[in-house]
Amino acid sequence: MPIDLNKTVTLAHGAGGRQTAALIHDVFQQHFTNPEFTSDDAAILPIGGIRAAFTTDGFIVSPWKFPGGNIGKLSICGTVNDLACMGARPRYLSCAFQIEEGFPLAQLEEIAAAMEKTAAEAGVQIVAGDTKVAGRGQVDHVFITTTGIGEVQAGASPAGNRARPGDAVIVTGDVGRHGCTILLARNEFSIDADVTSDCAPLWGTVKSLLDTIPDRQDLHVIRDATRGGVGTVLYEIAEQSQVGIRLNAADVPVNPAVRGVCGMLGLEPLYLACEGRLVIFAPQSAAPGIVATLQQGRYSHDAAIIGEVIDAPESKGKVIMTTEIGTKTMLPAPGGELLPRIC
């Protein structure tokens, strides 16, 4: 259904689900469409004899500091990971700051130090930027936008429309941990649980696959599960590739503390954000080797096959979940805003 331009923007439009897709399609795409416009994590542009990946991302997480990271670390990871998902080695970043008047300089320095450390780990340089200061109450502490460019590696061409029937669906670790961390950090539910964000730069994870997989073309799709979590990614890929996905709930890795919090609040871990997890689609024949490589990695030792791509006409664009007791149900399509400002 087309978006109603007589209405106003809601938090749901930033959640990464159906409302976000409608906003992009009905407003931005109508004005920005060109041959290079993409719905993938980065545009692939032919520049000077190489394939360059180019992306940008805004970060407004609240609170700005959380167990496992802060907005500075997150701003580097988010853009580096978008480039990595396109099979691109991240090379250069720029960053723009929108800072609230009165924000402590010591805290701003803490954010910048986290950016420096994370960029060094990812092997990327911050080469340009911009700084704006807004009056009190016009910005909530600090917002950051990062833009990145990377070099797509030879033979790599993962894309959201390349999932194929029979592909295995792989997740690189336990799901929903970042979203759960932010929820607890806001202290709105008086729940005490030991949960730390999975926020991490993942170029090293992708590079390990590119270096070991016999055919890089077998990496059909790589997508980082940020806003909306793994569940939203699965629906995005099902729609882009016009396939169905069968998911096995018992195979989805979930941290026990995250599972406990979700149980108390009636949340689905698959729809809580990750900031250090990839969803990978690859042929069944390649999947065991991919998982074995991932399980040796720093950020992917809990990697698992959680489902497969199916070709039944009635399943196109849908995610069918086999529950832990063996029944089959459709995973609800993503909609609304479960937890605003998680990234």
Q: Strand pairing of 244-248 and 304-310?
A: antiparallel
Structural domain contains residue 338: no
Structural domain contains residue 312: yes
CATH code, domain carrying 300 = 3.90.650.10
List, in sequence order, the alpha helices (H) in the chain.
18-23, 29-32, 71-84, 105-122, 177-185, 203-212, 229-241, 256-265, 287-294
* Domain boundary, last residue among 124, 152, 180: 152
3-state secondary structure of 100: strand
Same domain, 38 and 178: no
CA 161/CA 320 separation, integer angstroms: 19
Structural domain contains residue 145: yes
Same domain, 44 and 179: no
**Contacts from 36-39 at CB under 8 Å and sequence distance 24+?**
39/160, 39/240
CA 119/CA 19 separation, integer angstroms: 32
Q: Contact 245/234 with Cβ under 8 angstroms?
A: yes
Residue 46 in tokens: 């032919």
Same domain, 143 and 177: no
- Given this model, what pLDDT does residue 206 score? 98
- Given this model, what pLDDT does residue 1 score? 62
Its pTM stands at: 0.94
Among the listed residues 3, 75, 83, 77, the one whose alpha carbon sits nearest the alpha carbon of residue 38: 83
In this structure, the number of other CB atoms found within 10 A of the CB of residue 37 comes to 11
Report CA torsion sign: 249, 233, 258, 14. Answer: negative
Instruction: Tally the C-alpha atoms within 13 A of residue 241's C-alpha that lie toward its C-beta.
Output: 28
Instruction: Tally the C-alpha atoms within 13 A of residue 126's C-alpha that lie toward its C-beta.
Output: 23
Structural domain contains residue 52: yes
The 8-class DSSP code of residue 27 comes to: I
The total domain count for the chain is 2
- Given this model, what pLDDT does residue 16 score? 75
In this structure, the number of other CB atoms found within 10 A of the CB of residue 190 comes to 6
- Given this model, what pLDDT does residue 337 score? 64
CATH code, domain carrying 65 = 3.30.1330.10
Same domain, 52 and 82: yes
Q: Contact 260/193 with Cβ under 8 angstroms?
A: yes
Same domain, 145 and 281: no
Structural domain contains residue 339: no
Among the listed residues 144, 57, 146, the one whose alpha carbon sits nearest the alpha carbon of residue 99: 144
Same domain, 194 and 240: yes
Structural domain contains residue 210: yes
Same domain, 200 and 325: yes
Same domain, 41 and 131: yes
Same domain, 148 and 172: no
Structural domain contains residue 220: yes
Taking 70 as the pLDDT cut, the residues of the chain under it are 1, 336-337
Same domain, 115 and 229: no
* Domain boundary, last residue among 152, 184, 208: 152
* Domain boundary, last residue among 152, 185, 213: 152
- Given this model, what pLDDT does residue 150 score? 98
Same domain, 54 and 200: no
Structural domain contains residue 2: no
**Domain ranges, residue 43:** 34-152
The 8-class DSSP code of residue 154 comes to: T
Same domain, 141 and 188: no
Which pLDDT tens digit goes with each residue over 296-305? 999 999 999 9
